[in-house]
Every structure is written in C-alpha cells, then in structure tokens.
Amino acid sequence: MTKRRVVIGFLGTSLDAGKHNRWERWRPTVAVCQHEDMVVDRIEIIHDNHAETLAQRITADIAQVSPETEARCHVMNLKNPWDFGEVYAAMHDFARAYPFDPDTEEYFVNITTGTHVAQICWFLLIEAHYIPAQILQLTPPRRWQDGGPGKYDIIDINLARYDHIATRFKAEQAEGSSFLKSGIATRNAAFNRMIDRIEQVAIRSRAPLLLTGPTGAGKSQLAQRIYALKKARHQVRGDFVEVNCATLRGDGAMSTLFGHAKGAFTGALQDRAGLLRKADGGILFLDEIGELGIDEQAMILRAIEEKRFLPMGADKEVASDFQLIAGTNRDLSQDVGQGKFREDLLARLNLWTFELPSLADRREDIEPNLDFELRSYAARENEHITFNREARARYLAFATSPEASWNANFRDLGASVTRMATFAPLGRITEEVVIEEIARLKRSWSRTGANDGHTLLATLLGEEELRALDLFDQIQLASVIRVCREHSSLSAAGRTLFAASRARKTSANDADRLKKYLARFGLDWQTVSQA
C-alpha cells in the first residue's frame, strides 16, 4: 500500500508573500506542491492570526497548482517567535496533539520557512521522535522571478543510518581513550571502562576531578594526559601546573599556591603570582591534596567556586579560571571524620572520582606497559633496547606472578626496566640480566614488606599479641594479609594462595582453608580485607 505524503511547515510571511505579482516569484509553501516527482497529499500550514489573509491566499493557490493536495491551516500565536522556550513549548504541544499515523502516512517537515529558532525546534522534535518525519529542504530556482518549483532535498536525521558518521564518532572516542592511556593497549576490562568514563568527563565537563589510588599508580601521568587531550580539543588555553602538596608547609604553602604581595612577610622582597594564577585558563593538578592544611583547603575551595582569591598580604583579590584535578592515595572521607580534611571541599571534589587500580591488580597489563617503558627509555636515552625471547618470558612470568608485589606500582616497573636496559649488553636484555633484576626486586620488596608487615600486624593484633608471635609467623601472616587485600573475595584470595595445592588436587576448599588460617590469629576476612 502506498502511503499518503504529508508536509508540515510554517507559513513564510516574507518568502510566501506577494499579491498581484505572486506568480512571478518563488514561494516555498506553494512550490512544495508543484514538484511532479513528489505529489503532496496533504499540507499542514502553521501561522499566527495576523497572517490569516496570506494563509487563505496560499491555500487557494495550492488548490490551483495541485488540486489533489488538501491544505489545512493551524493557528499558532507566539508573543516572541525568537524566544526558544516559548517556541519549543508551542511546537511540542502541536506535535503531541497531532494525530500521526505512520502506518498509512509518511511525514516531511519543511524547514525552509520559519525563524531559525523554529528550525532548531523542528530538528529537536524529530530527533526526539515526537514527530515521525524527515526534513524537507527547498531550494529556489536560479532566478526567483521565474516562479518555478526549484529543487528539494529530503534529509533523514536518524544518525543510525549514517554508518560512516557513527563509525567516525566511535573512532574518535577510541582515539581519546587510547590517548589517555598513552597508546598502551591495556587488557584490564575494568581499567578500560574507567578510562572511557574519564575521557567522556574530560571532554564534557570543567568540574574538578579527583584521582585516587596508591602511590605510583599513574595519577600524575593521567592528569597530564587529560590536559593534553583537552588542549588538543581547544578546551584549555593555559598551562598544566602540577604541585605536590606534601612538599608544602606553613606560609610557604600559602605563598606557593596563592602568591603574595611585596612585604607580606620577612623575605618577601617582591610580588609573587602563585601557582593558581599560573594555571589561569589551564589545569591545576594538586597531587596528594590530603596533605594540605585546613586553611589552604578553605582558600582552594573558594578559588574553585568563585575563581577568585586573596594573595598573602594583598588588599585586592585576583582572578584565575582553572580546572582542578586532585590526586590522593589517602581515604579523604576518613580524614574528614578525623577533622583533617574539609567536608565541603571533599563534596566539591567528589562529583567525579576515579580510583586507579594498583599494578598488582592489573597483572594482565604488565606486558603492554613493559613495552611502553622500553619505548620511553628509547626516546629518553636515544637507544633501542630489546629482550631476547627467553629473558622476556622469564621476566613476565615473574612480573605477573603473586611473587611480584609491585609495592611502588609503575614506579617500580619503570625503574626495573631502566636498570635492565642500562645493563643490557649490545642492546639486548639477557636472562642473566633478568635473573639479577628479579633478585634485586625481591630483596627490595622483602625489606619494604617487613616494615609494612610489622605496622599492619600491630594495627590488627596489637603490639602485645604481635610480640607473642614468632618472626616466622609474623612474616607469613603479613604476606597472607597483603594477598587478601589485593583480592575482592575470600575465594579469590584463596585461589591465589593455594594455587599449587589446587593444581595437585590436594586442596578441597581454598576459601575454607584461608578462613581457618586467619581464625588461628583471631582474624576474619572482613577485618583483614579492610585493613
């Protein structure tokens, strides 16, 4: 069954005008009914009551040039046809009330007439599916005085039909994600999802971002990549300014961040702009923001919200419009409870919070990051270094095993690659070099683990009970707890701890075995996993 063709559009009070000479000029509402290859069965003409006479004349002319076309007029009175809210509301009401029947009719919206505001509203209503129509765009003949029908184009704004556009958008998004990952082909699904989210937020929002995660997880590098991405999209014009808040103390912190006026304190021999002003138009990255004092936190909050602050010793405020990215390896909500961090500042930072996982939680990503570190070394030292096959396999087997704790995360990995590359004979990392590096990492982590383990066990058991344990039990228990903290469940931790037993089929229930081991020391999963 052939569907009836229906055209909807505004009466053009200028384009459709004309009285005695009207047949000598192009009038779009009449012209739409003059195309032999597009017979219009019905045309819906929208106008206000001041154009009643013109609407009647156009209706009569349509009947003359296209007797088969039914013309209907609809009055839509607008106080201000350039007021977007008023126009959209009126057009939305029209669309809701119109008896669309897509099964028997096909609809076209003529955007050639009407204000620009009306044209935008037509697009929005069609895109939101309030109007099941395609867009009709008319073009006048070369000489308007010819009075001919001109040309027309039909535009379907359903982007799903434009595969090349959808493919391009998808490719651009993938490019943005890859950019944030420094081009590293990461394999961890959770990390990739997080990067996709960060890419969307970075492009669409100027609100503060909070990056959390352990030391060395890559917060600083990610902040720099976010800046570079926004810079490439022309969303920032200023600099990337980074400061480690752990290095700021006392008046020096205030002066470094907010600047000072000459004579503000002893030694202030000249004005100082401060890092917040340096970040104007760009991004300010405050790493370890939890180390800031309460006074500095209050001023940072005001600077975020009002884009203004008062330098030390100054009597006049200064302005700086920057986007803040904050980093921390601490639980700021816990610091709020202890009075160390302002609750209102955390609330302002907490709109977009992303937790970067440790390298130990992304062991499948160690291999691509290993290749990235080798490329970085080559760019930095102008020397291409590779592994031989056996050496690479041996290093990756260790690096991805539970033996490798990667306490300092990517800092450990970067330092490890630098050492091996430095000692690589003839640019090739051999098994001998790898064996030496693995031993070095084990010694380093053992020393760190012993110190960290004592502190951890003292917190869980108390100093008195800890002294009652043999050193052997202390080291073993601390290692078990660290593995527990790296996994999301008792079963997952058990599978890692008793992998060899399970392979020999001598371990029936890893979770139960781990539960009983912890119980020997008066501990349970909930306690150790939150330690």
Helix runs in 98-246, H state only = 116-127, 163-180, 189-204, 219-232
Burial degree of 362 (CB within 10 A; 0-12, 13-18, 19+): buried
Residue 75 pLDDT = 94
Q: Give the relative orientation of helices 431-461 and 389-399 as an angle to the nearest 10 degrees.
A: 0
CATH of span 4-157: 3.40.50.10770
**Residue 271 in this model has a pLDDT that exceeds 70:** yes
Sheet harboring 283-287: ordered strands across?
Answer: 240-244, 283-287, 323-328, 209-212, 352-355
Distance of CA 32 to the CA centre of its chain: 46
Burial degree of 136 (CB within 10 A; 0-12, 13-18, 19+): buried
Mean pLDDT, residues 354-367: 90
More confidently predicted of 83 and 488: 83
Instruction: Name the range with the highest mean pLDDT among 12-21, 151-160, 294-303, 482-491.
Output: 294-303
The CA–CA distances, whole Å, from 241 to 153, 292, 327 equal: 51, 17, 13
Question: Which two structure tokens, joined as six digits, stand for 178?
Answer: 């890859």
Q: What's the pLDDT band for 1 if we cut at 50, 70, 90?
A: low
Fold of the CATH domain 360-447: Helicase, Ruva Protein; domain 3 (1.10.8)
Residue 450 pLDDT = 54
| Cβ pair 314, 268 in contact under 8 A | no
> Options 3.50.50.60, 3.90.45.10, 3.40.50.300, 3.30.1360.120; which CATH number does 173-355 get?
3.40.50.300
Tens digit of each residue's pLDDT (9 = 90 or more) over 407-431: 889 899 999 999 999 998 888 999 9
Tens digit of each residue's pLDDT (9 = 90 or more) over 432-488: 999 999 999 988 887 665 556 666 777 778 777 877 888 888 888 888 888 887 777
Do domains 173-355 and 360-447 share one topology? The answer is no
pTM: 0.58
Q: Where are the domains of the chain?
A: 4-157, 173-355, 360-447, 469-529
**Residue 526 in this model has a pLDDT that exceeds 90:** no
| Cβ pair 105, 122 in contact under 8 A | no
Sheet harboring 105-110: ordered strands across?
Answer: 70-75, 42-47, 4-10, 105-110, 133-139, 151-155
Q: What's the pLDDT band for 120 if we cut at 50, 70, 90?
A: very high
Q: What's the pLDDT band for 67 if we cut at 50, 70, 90?
A: very high
**Residue 236 in this model has a pLDDT that exceeds 60:** yes
133-139 and 151-155 strand pairing? antiparallel
Q: What's the pLDDT band for 489 if we cut at 50, 70, 90?
A: confident
Q: What's the pLDDT band for 162 if we cut at 50, 70, 90?
A: low
Residue 417 pLDDT = 94
d(CA 16, CA 57): 10
Q: Please tell me what DSSP assigns to residue 272.
A: B
| Cβ pair 403, 360 in contact under 8 A | no
d(CA 325, CA 309): 18
Question: Which two structure tokens, joined as six digits, stand for 80?
Answer: 């201000």
Residue 174 pLDDT = 61
Mean pLDDT, residues 487-491: 78
Residue 66 pLDDT = 92
Share of the chain above pLDDT 70, in %: 90
**Residue 20 in this model has a pLDDT that exceeds 80:** no
What's the CA angle centered on 347, arms 210 and 288, to 5 degrees?
Answer: 35
Burial degree of 41 (CB within 10 A; 0-12, 13-18, 19+): middle
| Cβ pair 154, 108 in contact under 8 A | yes
Residue 395 pLDDT = 96
Average pLDDT of every residue of the chain: 86
Question: Which two structure tokens, joined as six digits, stand for 24?
Answer: 């000598």
